[in-house]
Amino acid sequence: MKSVPVYLLPVESNSYEVLIGSNLLQRVGQDLRQQIFGNPGNYVVITDEHVQKKWGSALQQALAGLPLHQIVIAAGEQHKTRATKESIEDQMLQSGIGRDSLIIAFGGGVVSDLAGYVAATYQRGLPYITIPTTLLAAADASIGGKTGVNTNMGKNLIGAFYQPRRVYIDIGFWQTLPKLQLQNGMAETIKHAVIKDLPFFRWLEKHAEDFSAGFTNTNLELWKKLACKNVEIKSGIFQLDEREQSGQRERLNFGHTIAHALEKASNYKLLHGLAVGLGMIVEAEISVKLGIARPKDAERLRALVKNYGLPVRIPHQLKVEDIITHTKHDKKSRHGEARYVLLAKLGQVGQIASDQGFVEDAIVRQVILNNQA
Ligand code: GLY
């Protein structure tokens, strides 16, 4: 027998910059014209119908003169499917989009997950950049390279790790978001504080009222700080474990075993951030029941979630047994059993290894029922 070793060197670094500021569409245009991502033959903007209506012409203007193709998908988590991905790919193939193209994900979490996944697989991979237009996407989906789609069995079950080339977080987009959408993004922000940063948690407690006023002439710096903290905390974690192999990155999933199950049980009527708020409350209380966290910390977390206008009771229409079944289809499951990232104390969660994090159904059931409206 002969063995021929195959040594692969990384051909390019996956590292990238996240730019945070205002009026960044101009900066996107400038970067593309200066060819900092090479000289693509086509720029494929993937966006949804709402973003297109609101911001489509601003992006077109900023990118005027560049060879643009636009693909507009229906808005909403229920459209983050393989069918939508296929339709995007077919449109690209029919337009003759080749490997010398760059994808621009312009929208919220659904757009960035879908566009990133298309980028990961289209003709074996195209570069992409993200321009998140919601607080939720800026806090989470647009950075970190988790791309993918939902299936009938659950959320984000099919996908790829594939990093963008650059992320442009323009907080100007948030200023016209409905209050519900700001609340939706706040849950991931609270999550970052809970898992990693007690001073940031205290800062969020202090400024709940300032943020609930939305955007005012005086609180722009607070919003900017919040945007930066989200990126710093999230990237500080995923750069240690890009592909969720060592358990580090799983910490970002605090609240998410329950959250994804609630979203699925509600047929995605419950928005992701609202589900994450509830998921964190439930998972913190599970941690208390297991003797890992102090009741006082779980109460402080519940109070913060409430003060940011997020619901703290699980809608009664969602059946507890459905929720428990869906938790077992979560990506973190092993041997058919759901796993949880557990709260140790505010600012710190347990890092779960593959053989830990199982919790008896009876405990989960009891905590869900205690928190149901
Ligand atoms: N949303 C969790 C992660 O990016 O790892």
- Closest ligand 1 atom to Cα of 238: 5
Do 163 and 188 lie in one domain? The reply is: no
- Residue 369: pLDDT band with limits 50, 70, 90: very high
Whether the per-residue pLDDT at 353 is higher than 50: the answer is no
Measured CA to CA, the distance from residue 39 to residue 53 in angstroms comes to 28
Q: Are residues 290 and 358 in the same domain?
A: yes
Last-in-domain residue among 176, 195, 226:
176
Residue 6 pLDDT > 90, yes or no? no
Do 293 and 334 fall into the same domain? Answer: yes
Distance 4 CA to ligand 1 centre (A): 37
Q: Indicate whether 132 and 247 sit together in one domain.
A: no
Whether 341 lines ligand 1, by a CB cut-off of 6 Å, is no
- Which phi and psi angles does 130 have, rounded to 5°? -120, 140
CA distance linking residue 105 with residue 112, whole number of Å: 5
What whole-number distance in Å separates Cα of residue 125 and Cα of residue 163? Answer: 11
Total domains in the fold of the chain: 2
User: Nearest-CA neighbor of 130 among 111, 108, 100, 104?
Assistant: 104
CATH number at 141 reads: 3.40.50.1970
Q: Residue 244 CA: which ligand 1 atom is closest? A: 5
The C-alpha atoms of residue 87 and residue 104 are separated, in whole angstroms, by 17
User: Do residue 266 and residue 365 come from a single domain?
Assistant: yes
Query: Region 252-261: what's the mean pLDDT?
Result: 97
Annotated catalytic residue 234: yes
124: annotated active-site residue:
yes
Average pLDDT for the chain:
94
pTM: 0.94
Spacing of C-alpha 349 from chain mean position: 19
User: Of 85, 165, 256, 332, which is the active-site residue?
Assistant: 256
Task: Select which of 42, 184, 230, 253 is catalytic.
Answer: 253
Listed in sequence order, the residues at least 6 apart from 198 whose beta carbon sits closer than 8 Å to its beta carbon are: 346, 347, 348
pLDDT at residue 355 in the model: 52
Residues 160 and 293 in one domain: no
Give pLDDT, residue 358: 81
Q: Whose CA is nearest to atom 2 of ligand 1?
A: 252
Per the CB < 8 A criterion, the answer to whether 84 and 61 are in contact is: no
Which pLDDT score, from 0 to 100, does residue 354 have?
Answer: 44
Q: Is the pLDDT of residue 150 over 70?
A: yes
Name which of 65-69, 215-219, 265-269, 285-289 the model is least confident about. Answer: 215-219
SS3 content of the chain, % helix, strand, coil (to 5): 50, 15, 35
**What is the rounded CA–CA span in Å between residue 132 and residue 51?**
10
Would you say residue 225 lies in a domain?
A: no
Q: Specify whether 145 is located in the same domain as 241.
A: no
Q: Point out the domain boundary residue: 176, 192, 210.
A: 176
290-326 tens-digit pLDDT? 999 999 999 999 999 999 999 999 999 999 999 999 9
Domain range holding 140? 17-176
Q: Is the pLDDT assigned to residue 220 strictly greater than 80?
A: yes
108 lines ligand 1 (CB under 6 A): no
